[in-house]
Structures are given as structure tokens and as C-alpha cells.
Structure 1
């Protein structure tokens, strides 16, 4: 049995079973998930999953260096790409946030070291029995959001941060009845 939210489609099941809640430490994968969580804001996760391959192609497989160097021509190209979410502020945020991640990599050695440092590089396993118990935000996601906004990150509210924490396995919010709970 898996978490109830993942039963809507095969794509959701695959994501749940093989990615969601699994520890992720590769900066490129972290950046991909951050961009996707930003793009998801106000939309369903299934919409983002259905467009994920298009995002990968459009954003050069989320290579941080490349995205950080996108210019106005690339922005226009992205805005004209019907295969992705064409929200100008979200696209600009992805480019801007890539630039900030490069600065973090310079300062901390990696985005992984910076972000996972908020939990001292430990996973928080939550004992949720039902989906209604799973929070949309926590004090920690509030804190991380504030600190990232202070650094200049865009589209990084507490709800987005918490969803990102779940996606990268920083918090394990698989229900206790889920076969994928560690």
C-alpha cells in the first residue's frame, strides 16, 4: 500500500515509489526539484509530473551553470514553449535562483551542504497515519523560507520549501501504512 495521494496515475505512483521521500544530495537533482516545486505553486503536482520531461529539455536538464546564464532570448524561448508552465515570474525565478545557487556553491561547497545543513544533514521521519495529518508548512520550512528569501530567492514560500523538503527526502512523510516508509 502506498500513500493515498499517489494513486491518481501511473506517473504519480512511479514518482512516489522511486523518488519522493528518498534522500537526494546531487545539486543538479536538487535544483530540478526546486524548480519543479516552484513551478507547481498554484497548480497540481500531476500537471508538473506530466510536463517534467518537457521541463528537462527546456531547462537543459537543469544544469545550474547553463540556467544561470540564460539571457532574454532564452527567456522568450521558454515563454513560447507550450510544453512547460509559461509563467514569466516563475521562469525568471528559476534563472535567478540558479544564479543564487552558484553563489551558495561557492560559499558552502554545494547547494546540498547549504540546504541539508538546516537539519544537520539528517532526515526527519514523521509518524503520520493519515494524509490530513501531513502539514503544508512547519516552523523549519518557515525558517528556511525566510533565510532563502533574505538571500534573494524567488517563489520560495514556506509551502514550497516544505514540499521541496518532502521531495528530496529531508522529511519522510510517507504514511506509516505506506510500504515505502523506512
Structure 2
């Protein structure tokens, strides 16, 4: 082996060993910025929801909550990022596509799509920042899914009508993971 090969290998290994620290610093900065800028996104979510709230709340005749205090407690626990990820996945995969496909909702497509876009961004950032948030064990969505399915066609109205509550839960979670200075 030549000395230059050994030097190049040493430089490469050093760079690889230093890279995680560099990525960690960028990740920490990105996650801090995400938390600091989250109130702007939350304001956008609430503004879009205000455009569709009346329609969905007026059609929600079910007394049983879909997003109960257990969900809020799950958001506030050390596995809150998994809980938020699962609930966002439920809204992105089940609730919002159903709302978009509903005939009446063509009038509401823009705010529903905007909510979906912000939810997608939020989901990606939460996964990206899970180490920063010190996220622990996974969250199970089974209870929400079971209740939603039992509600049949009314589940859509319940889930969409409770978006404001979901925003509050997410806001509480974001406040709980924000570093205290």
C-alpha cells in the first residue's frame, strides 16, 4: 500500500466520522427553526379550517368524540411524535382524501388541500426531528380507526369537525417539546 492511499483513506474515514456531528448540528438547527416557525403554520391551518368548519360541524351528529383526551395524553407523552405521526397519517390517508372525493367538497377543495399539504410537511418534519424531540415508543392508532369505522359515513364529519381540536393537541405537543430557556 502506498502512503498516499493510506492518507486518502484516513481523510475519508475522518470525514465520515465528523459528518454525523455536522448533520446533528444541522438537524438541531432545523428542528429548532421548525418549532419557532410552527405558530405560522398553525395559523394557516386554523385559517383554512375556518373556511370549512361550519359545513363539517353542521353534519356531525355523533356525540362520541374521535379525538378524545386519551389522544391528547398520547401527544404529551414521550412517544408523542409517534402519536402525531399516526394521527396525521390517518387524516392524510383516510379523512382528507374522503373529504376531497365528496361531491359537496369541491367548493372546499382548496382549504382541504392546503391542510393536507401542511400536514404532509408537519409529518415529514416530525419524523426528521424525532431524535430532537426525544421520541420514545410507538403510538397505536387502532382505537381511533375502530371508532371512525363504527361511525361509518358520519366518521368523515366527526373527523373533519374535530380538526380544530387536533390543531390544539398538536400545538400543545409542540409547546411541550420546545426547549425551556
After TM superposition, the score normalised by the length of structure 2 is 0.32
**Would you tell me which structure has more helix in proportion to its own residues?**
2
Structure with the greater alpha carbon radius of gyration: 2
After TM superposition, the score normalised by the length of structure 1 is 0.32
